[in-house]
Amino acid sequence: MSNLPRHVAIIMDGNGRWAQQRGQARMRGHERGAEVVRDVMTFAARHDEIEALTLYAFSTENWKRPKAEVEFLMKLLERYLKKELDVYLKNNVRFHAIGDLSKFSDTLRSLIKHTEKATQHCTGLRHNLALNYGAKDEIVRAANMLKKRGDAITVESLEAALDASESVDLLIRTGGDHRLSNFLLWQCAYAELFFTRTLWPDFTPQELQTIIHQFKSVERRFGGL
């Protein structure tokens, strides 16, 4: 039986380089990247085998970027959530933000919660958007939560306390780099890793389908024979 890409995770890399190659400001690359998020999310929602899609949108390390770029990304996220709510509802997609949202403005946190609440009845694709997310931070927060509750820390209890507890089947990174960049380290313990040189703004549902086809031919042993 072939592998099923039930949980697909993507590190969306290359927005800035895409814009610079065209002599444009980095912000234009981020705007185009947001359009690709919609295309890929819609494709995943209509794919019979994909149950969850997790996209790395803003990491705990991205605050180190220039202030103007960070502020632009926050405004872009606000515009995306307002604009795409109808797309989520039309495609029966449940939206969920993962990461430490406490660092965001009250306005942005409220908008995130509104989108989650408005789509909580959707029964199709589960779309996780990683915002101010870092896997190390996620694991520490989960461990501290269990400690505060007085619960024993086991593999099962820690996994249940994570922002996203589902194991990743297929992890894709665009942009040509070969690293995980602190993304879903726990969930990717046995994920199949695929790297493409395609910059995120040029990534298409067709390339995603090609990668899924390749993924299905991989023998997954999970430590066994």
Helix axes 67-90, 26-46, angle to 10 degrees: 20
Nearest to 52 by CA among 61, 41, 63: 41
Active site residue 62: yes
How far out from the chain centre does Cα 138 lie?
14
- CB 15: neighbour CB atoms within 10 A? 24
Rounded CA-CA distance 84/34 in Å is: 10
Nearest to 129 by CA among 177, 59, 222: 59
Among 3, 62, 92, 182, the active-site one is: 62
Rounded CA-CA distance 129/111 in Å is: 13
In the chain, DSSP finds a helix count (H) and a strand count (E) of 7, 6
Active site residue 48: no
How far out from the chain centre does Cα 70 lie?
18
C-alpha torsion angle, residues 91, 6, 111, 29 (rounded to 10):
-90
Q: Is 124 helix (H, G, I), strand (E, B) or coil?
A: coil
Among 13, 91, 132, 163, the active-site one is: 13
Q: Give yes or no for a contact between 61 and 133, defined as CB atoms under 8 angstroms apart.
A: no
Q: Give yes or no for a contact between 180 and 11, defined as CB atoms under 8 angstroms apart.
A: yes
Q: Tell me which residues are annotated as active site.
A: 13, 62
